[in-house]
Amino acid sequence: MNQSVLIVGAGPSGTCHFLRRLRSFLTGIPFDFKGLMLALALLRNGISVRIITQEANFVVGQRGAGVMPRSLEIYKFMGLLPEILAMARPIPAMQLLSSPQGEAPIKTVNLNKELSDTPFYPYINPLILGQDRHEGFLRKHLLEEYNVTVELATKLVYLEQHPDYVTAQILKTVDGKEVTETATFEWLVGADGAHSTVRKQLGIPFRGVTREEQILLIGDIQVKKGLGDRNIWPLWGNNWLEKMAAMRPYEIDGDDRFTFMVGGSEIDHSKAVSSREEFIRTFYEISGRTDIEFGELVWMGLWRPNIRMADRFGEGRVFIVGDAAHVHTPAGGQGMNSGIQDSFNLAWKLALVQKGISSASILDSYTKERLPVIDRVLNNTTTAFDSWTKDGNNGQWSGWDFNVRQLGINYQGSPIVLDERYMGEVTHSDPYRSGDDGLLRGGDRAPEAPGLISVNDITVTQSLFDIFKPTHHTVLAFADPSDNQGELLKVPGACANNVVQVVTIYPQSTPVTSVSIAKPTHHAFVDAEGYAYKHYNITGPGATIYIIRPDGYIGAYTQSEGGVVDYFEKLFA
Ligand SMILES: *[C@@H]1O[C@H](CO)[C@@H](O)[C@H](O)[C@H]1NC(C)=O
Ligand SMILES: *[C@@H]1O[C@H](CO)[C@@H](O)[C@H](O)[C@H]1NC(C)=O
Ligand SMILES: *[C@@H]1O[C@H](CO)[C@@H](O)[C@H](O)[C@H]1NC(C)=O
Ligand SMILES: *[C@@H]1O[C@H](CO)[C@@H](O)[C@H](O)[C@H]1NC(C)=O
């Protein structure tokens, strides 16, 4: 048998039929790097992967660069957050200017309101990190931690599903010669972009629209003189549907490159994209800023809004993640982040099934959980994009007005989530809510709680996000706060296998030295600052258990030992 999972990356989007003469400039996402995230999450779980991409080279340029708070939390669970934070930077404020630029800016807008981090939301502001660096960072970890590399110039030709495996025919270019290979895998995942071969082979429709009239020229270029402030993102244009140009500085200190976006019905896109000089001429015409001196052009291409989603995210042993499953406008930077969440949602389920712990039926929950969220993303990003293009420069627009941070995303309606307070009730009303509406139910994001003192070693203070693992369910057993004996629910030993960790949390008032760890508890903490009991709304009477899934969502809420058994029996059938 080969590796367990074949992850297929994207090829160029060469099959677009519109604007034929521009075809060679159309830009796809050469490797949909959400596949890299999936690979890392699977490898963390001990599942082997092979990753192929049709592209001959890795992506250059910044493209989708917004990193949302929920993605930062996922990186925290993956142990990668410190490095991401060291590379990323706050999103610059957008400075709206007339075309050609007048004396004063029309308005300066923060795309997202700047908020303060809290013990509940420890990383609350979106950041930027160029796609090329972000992708390179994930590739570096795949190589350094697992000796896994992405196979370039390697294309999936077709796939065939069988009850126990998937056959893939792969075409590889080695020293200019094409070599065909047929290999079998237990699972196959398409992270192969909007034009996904995998999705097409499954025959899954990709419904929605392509807005050919809203074509944009995008790319990266060095700016030698004239644009200095790295905290400002200038955007010129009186009516963005007619004419606009924007220049966002790279997030890298001392780097003089910018990511640009130029478009509108009055722009001759084919001419502008034909050479560096034509691009610069177009830019000068829109902005009037002929004092800006450009250096090297890193890359450029054409892009237009594609607003589509698949009606299911997999079938049998084959799944799709990221752009292969859904594409939307860049409003609020939701695309890349939604793809990361697809991957993180799928990875732990696939790992449990591959290990023989869960039955394949739990994989249905991937579509059931993610589809309503994506449905909402499409609606809200389309609305936001339209109001941005329409009201952008008349002073009406004041930043994204939907929940771009993705902290409220929840799976309350999932078939594998259990909350004994709301059994049989349809709670799944808003898959994308703000997350601070004062409710905490099964299916929600598990809140952070800092200031937990280890019972084993009182010099150790941790937070729940230090404890959660992408490889384990975490059974959080809270003692009854209304009972000074600290009565606990027993976690049945059979539930505590090697993919489950049991963590006991004692109330703030408990003397650390008075408690001892009894099996099957792996860790015990005193909630020294009271955040865990507060954020999980543990008021008593009675002891409570929250079961946190490997992806950081609440799998179950229960106040009985039977509830714990029920949750795991369903999951580990
Ligand atoms: C890493 O992988 C390469 C190629 O697949 C192999 O030749 C090499 O021996 C591996 N290195 C280690 C340390 O396993
Ligand atoms: C978004 O959803 C609302 C409510 O369902 C609907 O009225 C609106 O037309 C949708 N907008 C888009 C752009 O899909
Ligand atoms: C987001 O989408 C939902 C429907 O999917 C709609 O009811 C809501 O009004 C939208 N919000 C914004 C800000 O567009
Ligand atoms: C906390 O729990 C109580 C009942 O135990 C409930 O009435 C209240 O709404 C809950 N609050 C939150 C924020 O979930």
pLDDT band at residue 190, thresholds of 50, 70 and 90?
very high
User: What architecture (CATH level 2) is domain 5-85+124-209+307-405?
Assistant: 3-Layer(bba) Sandwich (3.50)
Report the nearest-CA residue for atom 12 of ligand 3.
380
For the chain, what is the radius of gyration of the CA atoms? 25
pLDDT at 516 over 70: yes
Is 356 a pocket residue for ligand 4 (Cβ < 6 Å)?
A: no
pLDDT at 515: 79
Give the position of tokens 């060095």.
222
From the CA of 419, which ligand is nearest? 4
Of the candidates 258, 185, 199, the one whose C-alpha atom is nearest the C-alpha of residue 223 is 258
> CB of 541 within 8 A of CB of 327?
no
CB-based contacts of 522, cutoff 8 Å, min separation 6: 501, 502, 503
- Helix (H), strand (E) counts: the chain: 12, 30
- Greater model confidence, 522 or 120: 120
pLDDT at 428 over 80: no
pLDDT at 434: 66
Region of poorest pLDDT, from 38-42, 233-237, 353-357, 433-437 = 433-437
Give me the chain's average pLDDT, please.
91
pLDDT at 521: 83
pLDDT band at residue 426, thresholds of 50, 70 and 90?
low
Average pLDDT for 381-406: 90
For residue 324, the one-letter residue type is: A
How far does the centroid of ligand 3 lie from the alpha carbon of residue 24, in Å?
36
- Phi and psi angles of residue 202, each rounded to the nearest 5 degrees, phi first: -80, -15
Q: What residue ranges line ligand 2, CB within 6 angstroms?
A: 379, 382-383
Report the nearest-CA residue for atom 10 of ligand 4.
537
Percent of the chain with pLDDT over 70: 93
Pick the CATH number of 418-571 from 3.40.30.10, 3.10.20.740, 3.20.20.70, 3.30.565.10: 3.40.30.10
Pocket test for ligand 2, best of 211, 309, 374, 379 (most atoms within 8 A of CB): 379
DSSP for 68-109, please give it.
-HHHHHHHHHTT-HHHHHHH-EEPPEEEEE-SS--SS-SEEE
Question: Mapping DSSP to helix (H, G, I), strand (E, B) and coil, where does residue 125 land?
Answer: coil
Question: Mapping DSSP to helix (H, G, I), strand (E, B) and coil, where does residue 398 land?
Answer: coil
Report the nearest-CA residue for atom 3 of ligand 4.
537
Percent of the chain with pLDDT over 90: 77
> CB of 250 within 8 A of CB of 130?
yes
How far does the centroid of ligand 1 lie from the alpha carbon of residue 147, in Å?
6
Pocket test for ligand 4, best of 537, 538, 546, 559 (most atoms within 8 A of CB): 537
The string of pLDDT tens digits covering residues 51-77 is: 999 888 888 889 889 999 999 999 999
- Greater model confidence, 361 or 55: 361
pLDDT band at residue 513, thresholds of 50, 70 and 90?
confident
The string of pLDDT tens digits covering residues 439-496 is: 799 999 999 999 999 998 899 999 999 999 999 999 999 999 887 667 788 887 667 6
Question: Mapping DSSP to helix (H, G, I), strand (E, B) and coil, where does residue 237 land?
Answer: strand
The string of pLDDT tens digits covering residues 312-325 is: 999 999 999 999 99
Report the nearest-CA residue for atom 11 of ligand 2.
379
Report the nearest-CA residue for atom 4 of ligand 4.
539
DSSP for 446-506, please give it.
PPP---EEESS-TT-EE-HHHH--TTSEEEEEE--TT-TT---PPPPGGG--TTEEEEEEE
- Greater model confidence, 22 or 440: 440
The string of pLDDT tens digits covering residues 521-571 is: 889 999 999 999 999 999 989 999 999 999 999 999 999 999 999 999 999
DSSP label at 243? E
Secondary structure of 127-172 as H, E, C letters: EECCHHHHHHHHHHHHHHHHCCCEECCEEEEEEEECCCCEEEEEEE
Q: CA angle 68-72-76, nearest 5°?
A: 170
Q: CA angle 52-57-63, nearest 5°?
A: 100
| 418-571 and 5-85+124-209+307-405 share a CATH fold | no
- Greater model confidence, 437 or 82: 82
Residue 378 CA: nearest ligand 2 atom is 14
pLDDT band at residue 129, thresholds of 50, 70 and 90?
very high
Is 482 a pocket residue for ligand 4 (Cβ < 6 Å)?
A: no
> CB of 497 within 8 A of CB of 357?
yes
pLDDT at 25 over 70: no
Region of poorest pLDDT, from 396-400, 406-410, 496-500 = 496-500
- Phi and psi angles of residue 59, each rounded to the nearest 5 degrees, phi first: -60, 145
Could you tell me the residue ranges of all domains in the chain?
Answer: 5-85+124-209+307-405, 418-571
CB-based contacts of 248, cutoff 8 Å, min separation 6: 62, 65, 92, 128, 233, 258, 259, 260, 261
How far does the centroid of ligand 2 lie from the alpha carbon of residue 221, in Å?
37
pLDDT at 20 over 80: no
Question: How many CB atoms sit inside 10 A of residue 342's CB?
Answer: 29
For residue 318, the one-letter residue type is: V
How far does the centroid of ligand 3 lie from the alpha carbon of residue 420, in Å?
29
